[in-house]
Structure 1
Amino acid sequence: MTRTEVLIASAEANSAHNYHPLPVVVATADGAWMTDVEGRRFLDLLAGYSALNFGHRNRRLIDAARAQLERVTLTSRAFHHDRFAEFCARLAELCGMEMVLPMNTGAEAVESAVKAARKWGYTIKGVPDGTAKIVVASDNFHGRTTTIISFSTAPEARADFGPYTPGFEIVPYGDLTAMSQTLTQNTVAVLLEPIQGEAGVLVPPAGYLAGVRELTRERNVLFIADEIQSGLGRTGRTFACEHDGVVPDMYVLGKALGGGVVPVSAVVSSAEVLGVFRPGEHGSTFGGNPLACAVAIEVIAMLRSGEFQARSAELGEHLHRELAVLRDTGRVTQVRGRGLWAGIDIAPAYGTGREVSEKLMDRGVLVKDTHGATIRIAPPLVISKEDLDWGLAQLRTVLGV
């Protein structure tokens, strides 16, 4: 057996089978490239589902982490530390908001947003106790905790994990009429992904997000934008909501906020919304720890330059022009996305998404499938045009173009 086969067999024997990874074992990585235990190089066109927007081992982020490692890594929120105030202030400013609630993972941030919206509904809006409703969209992906799967429409996320948490109503993504009809006096929030990533990079119809913003403002309902995958430069703007001229009441952030170094997530909102929390009502041992704050401060500084958003916009235009040509061949039935982010539906005659992903892996390119026929492309924003073109050339070869 090869070293790869030995390591995969060991992993499958000793870990829960909650993922179905491609059969590659990464050992090192730099920028947009990864190298496996056999010494083979792979172009990373997934970027950790946008957690690696700034590439593998980005020097600025590694240096920030290393410097903090020499000082203090964890205090818990039982004490203040000297990086916390700066992190909160800089992230609030980036978002145009007032307060930050730091967490670790995206799902943890979504759970925090749900709690904040419910308490705001009871203490500020005046919804009767125990009746708060949150409206979400079908085909959503906000995580896999027990509460979050309660409002998922994906059978593999829900089956055999009930009973489910009540208080959520599901409407079709992109349907303003259904949204309007579902909002009631007891609705405290609408929770949406500005672009649905796990569903296949689904971009909503023109005017949808602006319409939701108008409806929620009229009905005194919070608009929560889950920008965990779509935010922080991925779509060519700092936030995907910006493409529609929309500012939500609350951002939920994660993935790229940790720079591919440590898990960092946050809920960012107004003082009215996040000010509802009192000591002891919510917390996280590692949330807002010194190491996380140090890395995230550097991420925010990088985003403030606008360099990465501009690069995603420019290379994204090129990516989508190339994919449109591929679609015209009939090998691909649909292409969606914004910036350096695309969902590509493979025509059935040319294989499933998994089969295409495996063939690309054999040619040195790593992507990941979803929903059977779809592959997603989301390279690090630092990728060169030459490397991106090489990766697309491999896709054309796999599809016989």
Structure 2
Amino acid sequence: MIEDMLRTPSAVRDAERYTAHNYHPLPVVISSAEGAWLTDVDGRRYLDCLAGYSALNFGHRHPTLIRAAHEQLDRLTLTSRAFIHDQFADFCRELAALCGKDLVLPMNTGAEAVETGIKVARKWGYQVKGVTPGQANIIVADGNFHGRTTTIVSFSTDDDARADFGPYTPGFTVVPYGDLAALEAAIDENTVAVLLEPIQGEQGVVLPPDGYLPGVRRVCTDRNVLFVADEIQSGLGRTGRTFACEHEGVVPDLYLLGKALGGGIVPVSAVAGNADVLGVLKPGQHGSTFGGNPLACAVATEVVRLLATGDFQRRSTELGERLRAGLEGLLGKGLVAVRVRGLWAGVDIDPTLMTGRQACERLMERGVLAKDTHGSTIRLAPPLVITADEIDHAVAQLAAVLAA
């Protein structure tokens, strides 16, 4: 039988057998990819509508980024921060310019960027604001997803992420997302920062209410509190702007960046801010052996240069409108709500029809890969190199799943 010749079933079984079950992946085994398309071990092609949670904003194996990686692999891959390498200054300078900030602190993963932001905010609070020693607190929003380290899950409101990982790190106050009055009321003399995702990705691409982010910026300025924007998923072209905060003309004190910064090749993250904030760190107080390594910097510098052209932001805006129109055409035909910003969409399926997981499994059978979150919600975040015809194809497959 044909099924007996397929490689996917045994590969899935082996993965399940030898891997801790901290993920519940779709039963597809990818072996190669290019642009917006993936190919599995049995030769079947899939349209990627997840893009590695925005880590693949520039598609799979973007030729400019692959070339930079190959060239750097032949020269130098790691020095540690004990020395300066020849790719470091270009990356930091060009990323700082893209962000409109003085300084950049390179790390590796998004969670490390968030942890770095937390440490910087606390140190700034003690050394600059004069907060009571050991009493610094940070305001966060419910529904947040900033990573999975012990400190970060301490202020998560997702039981799956948080339960049974205590004791939890103190120093955080959770307020409703989008509620400016609650946020302002939570600030006290020991508050050092407000840490927010401009758009809550894991929650289902939840957009902020109009005026919320400018209000947060105003409150933070008035109360001498840092505004720390987690743009790890929303930033670097995903929403049609370089940063999601730009949609409302807001500039945070610290940008937390990651995912797309590594071009889908290497893990790269960074914190960008001005010298009066990032400058509180002194040698020996924070670091990473691999943070800002030569290979990472070579790739990430090319990512910054791609973004500096503005081409990907324009593509995200234009194609995002096409995606929005297609998805809104399915409202009342199996969809109950759609939230879109650029090429990023949260889609709520009528829960009487199917769960988000079931929808993603059925999309997979039709050659489209997406990811569910929270019940009957799925997220669509295709690479920014996707074409208009490919967007139409993805929407058509979702329509077919809903109508089946």
Asked whether the two chains share a fold, i.e. TM above 0.5, the reply is: yes
Write out per-residue CA displacement over residues 230-250 of structure 1, whole angstroms, 9 at most, x where no aligned residue: 000000000000001100000
Alpha-carbon distance between aligned partners in 2 of 1:328 and 1:351, rounded to the nearest angstrom: 15
Q: How does 1:128-139 map to 2 (within 5 A)?
A: 128-139=132-143
Letter in 2 for 1:366: L
CA distance in structure 1 between the aligned counterparts of 2:162 and 2:378, rounded to whole angstroms:
23
The one-letter code matched in structure 2 to 1:382 is V
Corresponding residue to 2:281 among 268, 277, 281: 277
Structure 1 position 85 matched with structure 2 position 93: no
Q: How well do the aligned residues superpose, as a CA RMSD in angstroms?
A: 0.7
CA distance in 1, matches of 2:360, 2:59: 21
Whole-angstrom distance in 2 between the partners of 1:337 and 1:171: 24
* Structure-2 separation of matches of 1:327 and 1:117: 43
User: Where does structure 2 lack aligned partners over 5 or more consecutive residues?
Assistant: none
* Corresponding position: 1:396 with 2:399: yes
Q: TM-score, structure 1 length as denominator?
A: 0.99
For the residues of structure 2 that align with 1:65 and 1:236, how far apart are their CA atoms? 26
1:178-217 alignment, distance < 5 Å? 178-217=182-221
- 2:366 maps to 363
Identity %: 67
SS at match of 1:316: helix
Question: Structure 1: which 5+ runs fail to align?
Answer: none
CA distance in 1, matches of 2:287, 2:86: 19
- Equivalent-residue separation in structure 1 for 2:19 and 2:283 (angstroms): 37
Residue number in structure 2 paired with 1:125: 129
Listed one character per residue, the Cα deviations across residues 336-371 of structure 1 (whole Å, up to 9, x for unaligned) are 120000000000122100000000000000000000
Query: Take 2:326 and 2:107, find their aligned partners in 1: how far apart are those partners?
Result: 38
Q: Partner residue of 1:333?
A: 336
Q: Structure 1 residue 349 and structure 2 residue 352: aligned? A: yes
Give, in whole Å, the separation in 2 of the partners of 1:164 and 1:362: 41
Once the two structures are TM-superposed, the CA of residue 114 in structure 1 deviates from its matched residue by: 0.2
Q: Deviations over 1:194-243 (max 9, x none)?
A: 00000000001000000000000000000000000000000000000000
Runs of 4+ residues over 2 Å off in structure 1: none
- Cα deviation, 1:250-289, whole Å, max 9, x if unaligned, reads 0000000000010000000010111111111111010000
Separation of aligned partners in 2, 1:394 and 1:345 = 16
Q: Is the deviation greater in 269-278 or in 31-40?
A: 269-278
**TM-score of the aligned structures, taking structure 2 as reference length:** 0.98
SS of 1:282 mapped into structure 2: coil
> Equivalent residue for 2:108?
104
Displacement of 1:322: 1.1
Tell me how many residue pairs correspond in the alignment: 400
Aligned twin of 1:159: 163
SS at match of 1:326: coil
Residues in 2 aligned to 1:38 and 1:141: alpha-carbon distance in whole angstroms: 35
Aligned counterparts of 2:197 and 2:371: Cα–Cα separation in 1: 20
Q: Does 1:177 align with 2:176?
A: no
| Counterpart AA for 1:384 | T
